[in-house]
Amino acid sequence: MSKIAVFGGTFNPFHIGHYEILKSLCNQAFLDRVFVLPDKIPPHKVCDYLARDEHRIEMCRIMCEDFSKAELCLIDFEREGKSYTVDTIALLKEKYPDDEFYFVIGGDMLSSLDTWYKFDELKAKTGFIAFARKTVAGFENDLQKYKRLGVSIIPIYDEITEVSSTELRCKLKRQLLPDKIYDYIVNKGIYNV
């Protein structure tokens, strides 16, 4: 049985904060694999500009090359409609019935986790890995709240660079992107660069 982290996101673009999370996940001894899973249609976001699917997928693939545990997972592209986490986890459990999953979230998402689509069903299907954020108050209180609700959550306190993807799309800053991603964006002319 493998323990698999599911690192989902829009990855629009795949920035240095995402890279640091991926690196941290791959360094966790209890995890065997890390699925990097770009959303097909993000359920919670209205985006100013969404790069074409093939570019977001390619950015994820490029970053997976840096880590032996990381794998690109395109399960959200195998179905229609919004990428609700509960549906994604259900599909993964069908495909990998003997494995245990942990869905990765940021500290900013933890406070509203119980508002997610089919939350009760979701918490029965997967554990969570929550990355603490310095700028988010109440992280420890949220952890305790969800533990009382029977949610399995593993906190990670590694320091992660906070990046606004929206601001980054408006003005690319090389220092906020892994070099390979910056080069890819410039070469493909994504985000009007």
- Count of structural domains within the chain: 1
Q: Residue 47: what pLDDT?
A: 65
Say which CATH number the domain at 130 has: 3.40.50.620
Pair 59, 12: CB distance under 8 Å:
no
What band does 40 get if pLDDT is binned at 50, 70 and 90? Answer: confident
pTM above 0.85, yes or no: yes
The first and second tokens of residue 24, run together, are 């941290």
Residue 131 has pLDDT above 90, yes or no: yes
Q: Distance between alpha carbon 103 and the CA centroid of its chain, in Å?
A: 8
Rounded percentage of the chain residues whose pLDDT exceeds 90:
75
Tell me which residue range forms the domain holding 50: 3-192
| Dihedral of alpha carbons 148, 153, 154, 159, sign | negative
DSSP per-residue string spanning 30-64: T-SEEEEEE-SS-SS---S----HHHHHHHHHHHH
- pLDDT per position as a tens digit, 82-123: 778 999 999 999 999 999 999 999 888 898 999 999 999 999
> Looking at residues 145-171, what average pLDDT do you find?
92
Alpha carbon dihedral 85, 89, 90, 96, in 10-degree steps, equals: 160
